[in-house]
A = this chain, B = another copy of it.
Amino acid sequence: MSLGFVVSACAAGGGRCGVLRLPHGDVQTPVFMPVGTQATVKAVAQDVLERLGAESAGAEIILANTYHLYLRPGHEVVRRMGGVHRFMSWTRPMLTDSGGFQVFSLAGLRKVTEEGVEFRSHLDGSKHFFSPEHAMEVQVALGADIAMAFDECVETPATWERTRDSMTLTHAWAERSKEYFDGHKCERPWGAEFEGKTQALFGIVQGGMYADLRRESAERLVEMDFPGYAIGGLAVGEPREVTREMIARTLEILPRDKPRYVMGVGYPDEIEEYARMGVDMMDCVLPTRAARHGLLFRAAEVGEDGAAVRMNIKRVEYAEDQRPIDSTCSCAVCKRYTRAYLRHLFVAKEPLGATLNSIHNLSFYLDTMERVRAELAKS
């Protein structure tokens, strides 16, 4: 068994709630997955992650980053430490991304061929090569419950022709990823208690901002028969209507009985919208990155537009504000600390500021998904 997916309710708009069964546990969907780039969700300890959210259910699945862990501490180190779960002491499900996005956004001096991509480390300039096979080897060594096929991320904006060529390469790499993965998935670094269980490999739909290419990419990947599908290459600067359109066109093609994952989105209202369209999984650095910059999300109050409001905690208007970030939020931060104190921590550059802000923002994201799941469950 690598993955089970049960849809328990489906709304008219396409949104559905379900359960994703993975070797390290069950995940209620639709789910938002906090990002732990370097095997740590920045500034938040694992026991805190386990208790996040209104019901203290915590994060049921988190991400780690293939490119970053490959470079540091190295995937072979992580393998010898028992895989990324044991390495970071996280017993719940995990997902590693393909590494593609980081190779194409962080690394230097890339040279892409059909064989793979040569790149230089953003840490020390050292030269490396990722083929689909090598990317799979790295992800099997890391041992997340879900691995992602290696893909090329096209620059943006890109012409239709450039996007099509890149997509075609991504399809070839997806096939090679799957073949290597199927041949080596038994090598995941898990203990005896996981006997008979393996990782699951998802394919990634590309196609840029072209609906016809998105559909073609989805069809081609569905033919390859992955246990789940991601939609990649979105939220890279395009208008939100385009993101929504690309997701909608792709969802039409992807099978309804398999999990569907939009990578790297988004604001609270976006993750809610995409979940209602039928997306089952999402991840984004936004809640933690914004937190480190003092940007906090809270529910709108009477008279404010939208469902979620952003507040910049460094503003002087909060200097003596004795209220919590969000009076309707039951996270540990809103229960204990005032805006005045959080502003002080931010202005004084105290590390606790990033921690408390991250705890609140992540709680807000998880609570948003919990609310959407509850509503979808009634449909």
Residues of A whose CB lies within 8 Å of any CB of B are 38-40, 42-47, 68, 72-73, 77, 80-81, 87-89, 319-320, 322, 332, 336-338, 340-341, 343-345, 347-348, 350-352, 354-356
Contact = CB atoms under 8 A, between A and B. Distances in A.
A347 B347 CA distance: 26
Counting chain B CB atoms within 10 Å of each CB, the highest count among A42, A72, A343, A355 belongs to: A355
18 contacts: A38-B350, A39-B344, A40-B350, A42-B350, A42-B352, A43-B351, A46-B336, A47-B332, A68-B348, A72-B344, A72-B348, A73-B319, A73-B348, A80-B320, A81-B320, A81-B341, A87-B341, A88-B341
Contacts of A89: 336-338, 341
Nearest to A352: B40
A355 B43 contact: yes
A80 B319 CA distance: 11
Contacts of A68: 348
A354 B351 contact: yes
A87 B347 CA distance: 15
Contacts of A80: 320
A246 B38 CA distance: 48
A100 B210 CA distance: 67
How many copies of this kind of chain does the complex include? 2
Counting chain B CB atoms within 10 Å of each CB, the highest count among A39, A341, A345 belongs to: A341
B81 A352 contact: no
Contacts of A320: 77, 80-81
A322 B80 CA distance: 10
Contacts of A38: 344-345, 348, 350
A81 B318 CA distance: 12
Contacts of A347: 72-73
Given A38-B350, A81-B320, A73 B43 contact: no
Given A87-B338, A87-B344, 11 more contacts: A40-B350, A43-B351, A45-B352, A46-B336, A72-B344, A72-B348, A73-B319, A81-B320, A81-B338, A89-B338, A89-B341
Nearest to A46: B336
A87 B344 CA distance: 10
A352 B355 CA distance: 9
Nearest to A71: B348
A356 B89 CA distance: 13
Counting chain B CB atoms within 10 Å of each CB, the highest count among A43, A322, A337, A348 belongs to: A348
